[in-house]
Amino acid sequence: MPAPAESRPLGLLGGTFDPVHFGHLRLAEEAREALDLAQVLWIPAGRPPHRTLPRAAAADRLEMVRLAIAGNPHFALDDAESRAGTPSYTVPTLERLRALHGGRPLVLVLGSDAFLGLPAWHRWRELFGLAHIAVATRSGFELAAEEMGADLAEEFAPRLGSDPADLKNAAAGRIVPFAMTPLAISASLIRARIAAGLSTRYLLPDPVREYIEPHHLYRASDGR
Ligand code: ATP
């Protein structure tokens, strides 16, 4: 019998989602399954600090995520970063969620490319005190200590766990890789296809495509 929902870990999936696509959806779905997460909370960034400005407005990206996850009872939306209007940093978001959820295990779900970029994040070492990290192997990116900078490799080795059950025994601090179906879909690829007038069908959910079209998002002529 599964454990009561409240005691199972809560997954957290942050991103720019510019736009959300099937790579993100499979990432969340496969993480939930592999790690026995009660739910995955989607957290669209308002203004990501460590990358170029998103093409679509925060409100549009939020709406696209809402459409993409509709109907999945295991997915929920957290719109706090999106509505904040200030740069979105993960550590303050985790502090807010930790205060809300007490000692419940929180699991930050990342693609391996995002994981390898962690040392560029604001106050990144504090992440490990606030949440576990689950890392999916993304097509074209392998998770190997040799690929990490020394700082990340130092955190990685002692925290590495192979058993998803480890995530239930502590509130934070473990790093658990999990394999996901490789899907070489990226938001950049989708934006480039739209700008070039090419089809994006089967790369992202139809309701999201149907939102993009009348809102004229990502067209070469949108001036952004
Ligand atoms: P962009 O192409 O604009 O950089 P992206 O498609 O990588 O965007 P993000 O919103 O930056 O999307 O990513 C959010 C999270 O989803 C990150 O942890 C990233 O590693 C992960 N992710 C994105 N695409 C995939 C994919 N195809 N498979 C697995 N993980 C993915």
- Convert the pLDDT of each residue in 92-106 to its tens digit: 999 999 999 999 999
Distance (angstroms) between ligand 1 centre and the Cα of 113 equals: 8
Helices and strands, counts by H and E, the chain: 9, 6
In this structure, the residue with its CA closest to atom 14 of ligand 1 is 15
- The response to whether residue 183 sits with its C-beta less than 6 Å from ligand 1 reads yes
- The response to whether residue 48 sits with its C-beta less than 6 Å from ligand 1 reads no
Distance (angstroms) between ligand 1 centre and the Cα of 24 equals: 6
Measured from the Cα of 188, ligand 1's closest atom is: 2
Cross-strand partners of 110: 135
If DSSP codes are grouped into helix, strand and coil, which group holds residue 160? strand
pLDDT < 50 stretches in the chain: 3, 5, 223
Structure tokens at 210: 């149907």
Structure tokens at 96: 């807010």
In this structure, the residue with its CA closest to atom 28 of ligand 1 is 23
Predicted pLDDT of residue 6: 60
Domain 5-183 carries which CATH code? 3.40.50.620
Predicted pLDDT of residue 5: 46
- Residues 28/20, Cβ–Cβ less than 8 Å: no
Distance (angstroms) between ligand 1 centre and the Cα of 42 equals: 13
Predicted pLDDT of residue 139: 52
- The response to whether residue 90 sits with its C-beta less than 6 Å from ligand 1 reads no
Distance (angstroms) between ligand 1 centre and the Cα of 116 equals: 13
- The response to whether residue 61 sits with its C-beta less than 6 Å from ligand 1 reads no
Please count the other Cβ atoms lying within 10 Å of the Cβ belonging to residue 186.
18
Predicted pLDDT of residue 85: 75
> What is the C-alpha to C-alpha distance for residues 105 and 147, in angstroms, rounded to an integer?
28
Return the residue matching tokens 């239930």.
168
- The response to whether residue 185 sits with its C-beta less than 6 Å from ligand 1 reads yes
If DSSP codes are grouped into helix, strand and coil, which group holds residue 83? helix
